[in-house]
Amino acid sequence: MADSYGIIASFADTPSFYHAAEKVRDAGYKKWDTYSSFPVHGMPEAQGQARSKVPIFTFLGGITGFTVGTLLVWYMNYFDYPLIVGGKPFFSPVFPFPVMYELTILLAAFGTLGGMFLTNLLPQHYNSLFNSETFLEVSGERLVIAIESRDPKFDSDLTRQFLEQIGGTDIEEVTK
């Protein structure tokens, strides 16, 4: 079906949800995901996902903050407008350390939040899954696995059977 987003299946409890995810991974599906209103311990491994890339953004933010902090103080108090205050040096790595330190943390935090949004491809205005009322119940108690139709292994009937086999209930096709 051209207007099909994919198939969703619900699972009764966290252990069966977790083991079902392992089976979907082993079956070789690529375009699929698990949906639960809380993070499940060890789920990235069960889904066969690599380590998150967020730390790269944190690092870039932190480096930028440290550099900006150092250059800021050097430029303002040493280069552009040197002013004698209490006989203290115009620049040294010691006294501006609080400024460098705080800016490192500030920009690293922005990098982390921004990195979380980028790696998750958020903000996202529309997603077909929200067309399903069953899917909306994920916010409460429901645990859902969705296999997308753009997955090369996807076959409307076979995938439905597969999800039934691994213990899925309330199996439903979601339209785009």
Give residues 122-141 in contact with another protein (rule: CB under 8 A).
122-127, 129-130, 133, 136-141
Asked whether position 9 contacts another protein by CB under 8 A, the answer is no
For residue 37, give the DSSP letter: S
Coil/strand/helix, residue 133: helix
Taking the complex as a whole, the smallest distance from the CB of residue 155 to another protein amounts, in Å, to: 23
- Measured between alpha carbons, how far is 33 from 100 in angstroms, rounded to an integer? 41
Applying the rule CB under 8 A, the residues between 70 and 89 that interact with another protein are 72-73, 76-77, 80-81, 83, 85-86, 88
CB of 157 to another protein, least distance (A): 25
Q: How close are the terminal C-alpha atoms of the chain, in Å?
A: 10
| Of residues 22-51, those binding another protein (CB under 8 A) | 33-44, 46-47, 49, 51
How far apart CA 45 and CA 136 sit, in angstroms, is 25
By CB under 8 A, name the one of 7, 11, 96, 174 that touches another protein. Answer: 96
Cα separation, 106 vs 70, in Å, equals: 14
